[in-house]
Structure 1
Amino acid sequence: MSRIVSMLMFVGISLLLHCATHRPLPPGTPPAEPTPSGESSPAERPMYAVESTPVTGRMVILKARLTLESQEPEAVIDSILALVSRYNGYVLRSENTRITIRVPSKKMHTVIDTIATLAHLVKKEISGEDVTDRYHDLEIRLDNAKKVRQRYLALLAKAQNVEEALRIERELERLSREIDLLEGRWNRMRHQVQYATISVTVRRETRPGPLAWVFIGTFKLIQFLFVW
């Protein structure tokens, strides 16, 4: 009798365990996908988190191109060099009567107006490139890469054997290279936003000599007499 009772209790407990571990999923819940052999589950696999950073302002790279005319182009270039230090900028390149400078973007228009007073302004072009989305995309990717690196450092501290430690170190090296690359691009773009680029070309102004004035006067006279 006791054996029968024990068997009934065993069967009952088995049925209860089966029901507890094989409960039907709630309606609308997708079934779990099997994890392929040899691969870690999504919870264990390091992944880049998808985040969104609010945009607080437009990131615009400003550029300007100026063409001037002067009888003394070298003197104009020297004056521009003096302006650079006055407005906390720097020279990107300088060659004879051409110079490219970078100045704080907030002072770009002031610098352009000042340069225009140094000689006769022939041409002025100002352009801007909005890089807001690219800037924040780099910012997010850089932040995520740093977070993943911290996870790998934590895993390295818990490595159980040399093989596992070496595998994690290789991944850390790859992440470090990626972070260096992203940081370089991000810093370069941020600097280009903060500093506007101004390229200036100073042409030598030519004045006609006495003989040239004779030809000009003759042309004007003919134009006056025969052109109505």
Structure 2
Amino acid sequence: MTNLIKKNWLIILVIIFAIGYVNRKNTEQNTILPMTGGGIVADSVVSDKMLIRREVAPSESTNRLVIQDTSLSLQVDNVESKIKEIESKTTEMGGFLINSNLSKPNGVGSGTISVRIPEGKRDEAMELFKVMAVKVVSENVSGTDVTDQYTDLQAQLEVLQKTKVKFEEILDKAYTVNDLMNVQQQLISLQQQINSVKGQQKYFEQSAKLSKITIYLSTDDLALPYAPTNEWRPAVVFKEAVRSLINNIRGLGNILIWVVVFSPLWIPAIFVIRFAKKKLAI
């Protein structure tokens, strides 16, 4: 058996990897993505709308409308309990949960939670979340000024409302059924546009009042996103080297398991190939 494997090791590897590749492709095709929570979908849909909006000249308004987005990367002792604690503190401060997830790849607990906090309590919330951590790995605060977009929407709304008033006056003077139907269709279309503009305005207003905070949590700081620096960190390099060694050992173990499991396939295949070679030699 040992000699058989030594002589035909290349054929064995080719067969194993071919079978593994086919199985992996089948698994990917049969995988169904989970549906996303309502909060995420709502934010994503509005974000898409924001991307296709037209650009406008900067306004001179002194009352700027700014949407704050904050992210924290925290090393904690227990990811699951901290996620629950963050959600609880968020509710106490008048905010709400957008989404959260928890996973334990390679035995390292990690998770993400996104919340919305009243803008006036954002600094207080940030300090509370930092206190929960063993180590604050990184912090990022960004603001998006949507004053110009909001002003543009207000101008669109005024035009639509004036146009609607004109069509209402025309409706009062319409006599034929065809005229009535045409004017009513225009009024319905205008009202839908007005509702859409008001919805976008409301989104901007609520987003400015409620800051979004995304917290990345892990028991291992290497699993957290952070801004890389040129500073040499021997401890980080050592951890990465150890993790790479463990992954390589696991990979070798996985290959051996595959070889054993699929032996009923590759052993007969080797005998067939050798038999065919002998026939050709004769």
* TM superposition score category, shorter chain reference: 0.5 to 0.7
Q: Which residue of 1 aligns with 2:80?
A: 74
The partner residue of 2:153 within 138, 163, 181 is: 138
1:141-196 per-residue CA deviation (whole Å, 9 max, x = no partner) reads 11321222122112211213222222211211221221122122111121111111
Q: Secondary structure at 1:138's aligned position in 2? A: helix
% of aligned pairs identical? 24
Give the letter aligned to residue 109 of structure 1.
D
2:186 aligned with 1:171, yes or no?
yes
- Calculate the aligned-residue CA RMSD, in Å: 1.9
The partner residue of 2:125 within 94, 108, 111 is: 111
Rounded to whole Å, the distance in 1 between the matches of 2:60 and 2:181 is 38
Aligned residues: 155
Relative distance call for 1:154 and 1:100 in structure 2 (3 A) is same
Please show how residues 191-206 of structure 1 align to structure 2 within 5 Å: 191-205=206-220
2:63 aligned with 1:63, yes or no?
no
1:58-100 per-residue CA deviation (whole Å, 9 max, x = no partner) reads 1001000100001211121121011111110000001112100
Larger radius of gyration: 1
Rounded to whole Å, the distance in 1 between the matches of 2:67 and 2:207 is 6
Rounded to whole Å, the distance in 2 between the matches of 1:116 and 1:173 is 51
For structure 2, which runs of at least 5 residues remain unmatched after alignment? 1-58, 103-110, 222-237, 239-282
Q: Which runs of 4+ in 1 moved over 3 A?
A: 53-56
TM-score, length-scaled by structure 2: 0.52
Q: Secondary structure at 1:143's aligned position in 2? A: helix
Give the letter aligned to residue 82 of structure 1.
S
* Richer in helix (by share): 2
2:93 aligned with 1:87, yes or no?
yes
How far 1:128 sits from its partner (Å)?
Answer: 0.2
Rounded to whole Å, the distance in 2 between the matches of 1:108 and 1:190 is 16
Rounded to whole Å, the distance in 2 between the matches of 1:76 and 1:143 is 47
